Amino acid sequence: MKNILFSVCILIFFAGCKKHNDTQSSSSTHIFKGIVVTNEGGEVLGTWGTEDGDWGNDINWSNNEYELLNFPDTISLDGTFVADTTGWNIGPGVHQQPRNFVIAYPNPLLNGATLVLQGIGNLKCKAAIVDKNYHRLKTYAGKWNGLLEIMVDLSDSTTFQDKTMYRIFYSFSAKDSLNFYKGHGDILVCREPTMNDCRQAVP
């Protein structure tokens, strides 16, 4: 699946993206129940645990989840647009069937992962990596057209602990359609020697 996308893409590594850490959090503890397993080539190998709609388009977010992407950035919506909405529910700000692709690989991961975003049009992306208390650990904002690959460094073992799951929230926006595509995906940091050891970290 990833190889097909590569034939029509330009790789971008943090181009036009901003990053910062902060302390946005939730008073609740959230349980991440499963992951979509992917290999180094971006192929989906199955699931561990019970994944809850990872890497798709979430219909509803809570106010706390929206707030996770409400961090300051310098990426404007000027010039953004959705290029092709054939077959979508057409109307200003209404794009309910977006043809976009989001995945992270590899998962589980050792010290880093690639977040792949496939979009139609010139879009703005915002993303945040959070822990189970919804502390924002890393944030990103960028603008792209086509395929964007974000190389995510998770090598800080103090912040990103072994055999621990984290969640990535992401949204796509265009000038007339703020957060028209939004979702989440869970990742597992695992520095153990075998996949079976990593599997034990998923509920």
Question: Residue 143 above 90 pLDDT?
Answer: yes
Question: Residue 148 above 80 pLDDT?
Answer: yes
Q: What does the pLDDT look like over 77-129, one tens digit per residue?
A: 999 998 765 555 555 555 555 445 799 999 999 999 999 998 778 999 999 99
15 — pLDDT class (breaks 50, 70, 90): very low
180 — pLDDT class (breaks 50, 70, 90): confident
2-199 topology per CATH: Immunoglobulin-like (2.60.40)
Q: How far apart are CA 149 and CA 2, in angstroms?
A: 11
Q: How far apart are CA 38 and CA 27, in angstroms?
A: 31
Question: Residue 16 above 50 pLDDT?
Answer: no
Q: How far apart are CA 116 and CA 148, in angstroms?
A: 6
Question: Residue 203 above 90 pLDDT?
Answer: no
Helix (H) or strand (E) holding 164: strand 164-174
Q: What does the pLDDT look like over 25-51, one tens digit per residue?
A: 555 889 999 999 999 999 999 999 998
User: Mean pLDDT of all residues in the chain?
Assistant: 84
Q: What does the pLDDT look like over 75-91, one tens digit per residue?
A: 999 999 987 655 555 55
Question: Residue 6 above 60 pLDDT?
Answer: no
Query: What are the domain boundaries of the chain?
Result: 2-199
Per cent of the chain over pLDDT 90 is 66
Distances (CA, A) of 202 to 4, 34, 155, 175, 195: 30, 6, 20, 39, 11
